[in-house]
């Protein structure tokens, strides 16, 4: 999972360089009614880190297969009120949390990547797949945050 750790570190550097260049309006105005603002997307990435951190640890410590329990992303974003949280706080928390996840992922033994994980609908994956999917999801949302095309 060295490639995942490297990619996560690149994304942390990128967002830490670019997010401070966005105006308060760019951070808080949603692209359309019912859609998340950039700040709310960043908050969602904090929620994703928290939920995936739990999944990674449980996959490593509980009897297999890990049952992956979904969470209501909109409820999490609304309850945390990321829209009215200083962007600097969100960026710092997201960055620190992902540095910890990089440390965790880098210590996972290779054989543990094959640990089975199962979604509530019965779809089976491995811990390695979950970790890869976390990085892909994070990259998707970082690109959304940094997209400067007219919204």
CATH code of the domain covering residue 58: 1.20.120.450
Of residues 144, 140, 126, the one with CA closest to residue 1 = 126
Instruction: Write out pLDDT tens, residues 67-122.
Output: 999 999 999 999 999 999 999 999 999 999 999 999 999 999 999 999 999 999 99
CA 64, chain centre distance (Å): 24
3-class secondary structure, 29: coil
Residue 109: domain span: 2-146
Number of domains in the chain: 1
Of residues 73, 108, 101, 115, the one with CA closest to residue 7 = 101
3-class secondary structure, 27: helix
Residue 6 lies in a domain: yes
Cβ contacts of residue 49 below 8 Å, gap of 6+?
Answer: 94, 97, 98, 101
Instruction: Write out pLDDT tens, residues 121-149.
Output: 999 999 999 999 999 999 999 999 999 76
Residue 13 lies in a domain: yes
Residue 105 lies in a domain: yes
Residue 72 lies in a domain: yes
């Amino acid at each position: 999972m060295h490639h995942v750790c490297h990619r996560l570190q690149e994304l942390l550097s990128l967002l830490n360089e670019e997010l401070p260049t966005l105006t308060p309006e760019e951070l808080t105005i949603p692209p359309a009614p019912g859609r998340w603002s950039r700040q709310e997307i960043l908050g969602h990435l904090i929620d994703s880190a928290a939920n995936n951190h739990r999944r990674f640890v449980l996959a490593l410590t509980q009897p297999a297969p890990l049952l992956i329990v979904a969470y209501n992303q909109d409820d999490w974003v609304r309850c945390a009120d990321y829209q009215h949280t200083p962007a600097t706080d969100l960026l710092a928390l997201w960055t620190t949390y992902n540095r910890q996840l990089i440390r965790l992922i880098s210590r996972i033994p290779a054989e543990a990547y094959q640990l089975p994980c199962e979604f509530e609908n019965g779809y089976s994956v491995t811990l390695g797949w979950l970790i890869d999917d976390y990085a892909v999801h994070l990259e998707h949302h970082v690109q959304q945050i940094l997209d400067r095309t007219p919204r």
